[in-house]
Amino acid sequence: MSLSRITVTAVRNLHPVTLSPSPRINILHGANGSGKTSVLEAIHLLGLARSFRSTRLQPVIHYEQPACTVFGQVQLAEGGSSNLGISRDRQGELQIRIDGQNARSAAQLADLLPLQLINPDSFRLLEGAPKIRRQFLDWGVFHVEHRFLGAWQRLQKALRQRNSWLRHGTLDGASQAAWDRELCSASDEIDTYRRAYIQALKPVFERTLAELLQLEGLTLSYYRGWDKDRELSEVLASSLFRDQQLGHTQAGPQRADLRLRLAGHNAAEILSRGQQKLVVCALRIAQGHLVNEAKRGQCIYLVDDLPSELDEQHRQALCRLLEDLHCQVFITCVDNELLREGWQMDTPVSMFHVEHGRITQTQDHRE
Ligand SMILES: Nc1ncnc2c1ncn2[C@@H]1O[C@H](COP(=O)(O)OP(=O)(O)OP(=O)(O)O)[C@@H](O)[C@H]1O
Ligand SMILES: [Mg+2]
């Protein structure tokens, strides 16, 4: 997938604008505070119905405007195009339109516009809470395994039932046993998809990382959220008392994690900031390759402040990997000289200069 047109109104400091980006490399450059990240924010909003900086959408709306909107025309993998629109007002009203129809959920947007974000906060994937790594993992599984979403929804429902029962005990034994069976079956299904995904991801990740860094012995492993040698039903039965005390279910896929280790330590504790960024880039680029292989379209990369924390050699290596993915990429930087050269002759590159919220195209990929 790629965005062939984007129209942005009242997102942060951006003046209303319509862009026709390159299907491959797009570079947004300009001074600090000019609005580069805001463009990525607008695309993020279109693909996920939420901001990547704030959990609230309110700060994304221009101070003086009642609502922000983003429209995009997406070129689909199977040919043809789809028109997406998202609008959010100050009262919290969110409207998602897909080809002129109101959409039911943000998952529909995510399916049409698979986004990968690489920004200065990316190291959190290594350092942060397991939830961030689960989101990373599930993004990948969602985009290559269409049965994942259904299993995930079943799990959430069964888990809500069980946690409510743990707290209030309102359900009779037989009904709760039925819900537990549902919980275990959805959990096994999710575990199967996640495990297969990690198995496919690992060699691609290792290959990608080797292009960026010489890190002998970095291992990626998957923890499913409960003892690998026991059935979930058995684990649930043995931890029932503790679950009741805590009021929620401790074991299960909602506790899964990915572990990156180096020389017997958590990789996040050992690697430098720049190395962490490169490891995260390798993980995200590997995900892009798996999306490509699944032939359900391609993802779009939003790379905020690419040069930060990377030296010349690593910056070039990363650009080459992004280019080799054949995906659409939006890259922001302060100094465009750092990214102007080095792309292959036949790669269409567009450049946009951002200044006080106004965007001017300085290089057109079609020329
Ligand atoms: N809701 C809003 N309404 C209007 N302006 C806003 C709003 N939120 C943020 N801004 C302003 O938008 C400007 C652009 O921010 P943005 O993060 O896009 O800059 P940037 O070009 O990415 O800068 P940097 O190079 O420092 O990362 C900032 O000056 C910020 O103060
Ligand atoms: Mg920025």
Is the domain covering 121-294 a CATH 3.40.47.10 domain? no
What pLDDT is stored for residue 18 in this prediction?
98
Please write the tens of the pLDDT for every residue from 331-361. 999 998 888 888 988 999 999 999 999 999 9
Check pocket membership of 32 for ligand 1, CB cut-off 6 A: yes
Q: Is the CB of 64 under 6 A from ligand 1?
A: no
Contact criterion met (CB below 8 Å) for 298 and 292:
yes
Q: Which residue ranges does the chain devote to CATH 3.40.50.300?
A: 1-114+299-367
For residues 309 and 165, give the distance between their C-alpha atoms in angstroms, rounded to a whole number.
Answer: 49
Q: Which fold does the domain 1-114+299-367 belong to in CATH?
A: Rossmann fold (3.40.50)
pTM of this structure: 0.94
Q: Is 63 in the pocket of ligand 1 (CB under 6 A)?
A: yes
Q: How many whole angstroms from its chain centre is CA 308?
A: 20
DSSP letter assigned to residue 173: H
**Ligand number nearest to the C-alpha of 303:** 2
How many angstroms separate the CA atoms of 85 and 100, rounded? 9
Window from 155-159, 212-216, 280-284 with minimum mean pLDDT: 212-216
Residue 187 has pLDDT above 90, yes or no: yes
Q: Which of 9, 11, 13 most suits a substitution to test ligand 1, by most atoms within 8 Å of the C-beta?
A: 13
Query: How big is the chain by its Cα radius of gyration, in Å?
Result: 22
**Residue 95, token pair as written in the block:** 């409207």
Phi and psi based region of residue 329 (left: phi greater than 0; alpha: psi -120 to 50; beta: remaining)? beta
The angle formed by the CA atoms of residues 223, 227 and 228, to the nearest 5 degrees, is 70
Exposed e or buried b per residue across 135-149, where buried means at least 16 C-beta atoms within 10 angstroms of its C-beta = ebbbbbbbbbbeebb
124-154 per-position pLDDT tens digit: 999 999 999 999 999 999 999 999 999 999 9
Q: What tens digit of pLDDT does each residue of 296-311 get? A: 789 999 999 988 889 9
Report how far ligand 1's centroid is from the alpha carbon of 237 (Å).
52
CB of 365 closer than 8 Å to CB of 348: yes
Q: Which helix (H) or strand (E) holds 39?
A: helix 36-48
Among residues 304, 273, 308, the alpha carbon closest in space to that of 119 is found at: 304
Beta-carbon count within 10 A of 217 CB: 8
**193 pLDDT exceeds 70?**
yes
Length of the chain: 367
User: Mean pLDDT, to the nearest integer, of 234-251?
Assistant: 94
Ligand 1 neighbourhood includes 35 CB (under 6 angstroms): yes
In this model, does residue 69 exceed pLDDT 70? yes
CATH 1.20.1050.90 domain range(s) in the chain: 121-294
Percent of the chain at pLDDT above 90? 77
**Which residues are within 8 A (CB) of 138 and not within 5 positions of it... i.e. 6 or more apart?**
148, 152, 194
What percent of the chain is predicted at pLDDT more than 70? 99
pLDDT score, position 54: 64
Asked whether the beta carbons of 80 and 69 are under 8 A apart, the reply is no
Q: How far, in Å, CA of 117 to CA of 40, rounded?
A: 9
C-alpha to C-alpha distance for 117 and 287, rounded to whole angstroms: 12
pLDDT reading at 314 higher than 70: yes
Quote the pLDDT of residue 227: 96
Q: What are phi and psi of 339, to 5 degrees?
A: -120, 0
pLDDT at site 37:
96
Instruction: Yes or no: say if 219 and 260 are a contact pair by the CB < 8 Å rule.
Output: yes
